[in-house]
Amino acid sequence: MKNIEKYLSLLGETVDGLLLTSRYSRFYGSECDIAEGVAIVTKKGCRYFTDSRYIEAAQKGIVGFEVLETNRCNPYNKLINDAIAQFGVERLGYEEGYLTVGEFNSFADELKAELIPLGGKINSFRAVKECWELERMRKAQEITDKAFSEIITRLKAGMTEKQLQVELIYCLYKNGGEGLSFDPIVVSGPNTSLPHGVATDRVIQEGDFVTMDFGVLLGGYCSDMTRTVAVGYATEEMKQVYETVLTAQQAGIAATKAGVTGQQIDAVARRVIADAGYGDYFGHGYGHSLGMEVHEPPNCNPNGVTVMTAGMVTSAEPGIYLPGKFGVRIEDVVIFTEDGCEDITHSPKNLIII
Ligand code: ZN
Ligand code: ZN
């Protein structure tokens, strides 16, 4: 089914029009990624509004929408109201999770249709990926893998976390990344116990763990991976924690298939960590979905009740964080299939000592 048809399927008794304001839903519906704009979807017609900076790209790339330019004489709300009048829209579903209060107030004051929050349904389609979306995600993850194999040849004791972060960003772009899916996390030594720590001027030393969590954008889709490596040597405790996290991740991946809930997968990995005595040191969830955004529902965490289906995606990223000492996280991205999953991350996971 084409994505625009998925949106049209939401039209009926509850709403007779959709107002797409997020970059993600506009991209999803129109097959063209335009940084700014607004689109309206109705059964009588679909229109896409953007300004002079993007109009040429929009006219070339957008499929299934009439593209109109907004400008001083034709502000967004006037163009939306014209469409509301011409297509006879009475109830307009909007994305409440992607509007500021100011933007919402402006729509509520000026638009001549009743506004109905429908963001959950509008964005729910993105959870199950089409083949072309999965292909982009595989390619994005491949770039991330290549960057990892290169960064471990550049990582040396004596560099600071910030220096390593800059090198990592260089490797991500050099290997084909079109953007970063988020600011890479680069932490070392005791800072590795901060799951989302920020790179500092700390000098990387022998005996450190270094955790790098990073990803790129390719064709509008994100990759995400984490590896933890040791520098010089690893103590017995470091090795034991590393092996526990790896075993937990492998158990989670083995439990990943269509028909299970995120909660079930999280529980399998969490059990391994608890059995090893580190249950209090794994605070976050096992995984999150991703696609156009690096964090998307559904999640594989203790609250994840969604039953997963083939074509959904999750990260697999258990971790153990010992405050003041060190932490370990290992993260792959996997695609749910009917009878298992496809791990699209191919970087080695044995403990690398640099
Ligand atoms: Zn990550
Ligand atoms: Zn992640």
Q: Would you kindly state where each structural domain of the chain is located, as residue ranges?
A: 3-127, 131-343
How much is the pLDDT for 1?
Answer: 78
**CATH for 3-127 (3.30.1360.150, 3.40.350.10, 3.30.300.20, 3.30.70.380):** 3.40.350.10
DSSP state letters, 84-125 = HHHTT--EEEE-GGG--HHHHHHHHHH-SSEEEE-HHHHHHG
Fold classification of 131-343 (topology level): Creatine Amidinohydrolase (3.90.230)
Q: Which of 308, 310, 268, 272 is nearest to 288 (CA)?
A: 308
Ligand number with the minimum distance to the CA of 290: 2
What's the pTM value of the predicted model, to 2 decimals?
0.94
For residue 330, report the distance from its CA to the centre of ligand 2, in Å: 10
- Give residues whose Cβ lies within 5 Å of ion ligand 2: 224, 315
| Helix/strand number for the chain, H first, E second | 10, 19
C-alpha of residue 225 to centroid of ligand 2, in Å: 7
pLDDT string in tens for the chain (354-residue length):
789 999 999 999 899 999 999 999 999 999 999 999 999 999 999 999 999 999 999 999 999 999 999 999 999 999 999 999 999 999 999 999 999 999 999 999 999 999 999 999 999 999 999 999 999 999 999 999 999 999 999 999 999 999 999 999 999 999 999 999 999 999 999 999 999 999 999 999 999 999 999 999 999 999 999 999 999 999 999 999 999 999 999 999 999 999 999 999 999 999 999 999 999 999 999 999 999 999 999 999 999 999 999 999 999 999 999 999 999 999 999 999 999 999 999 999 999 999
For residue 205, the model assigns a pLDDT of 98
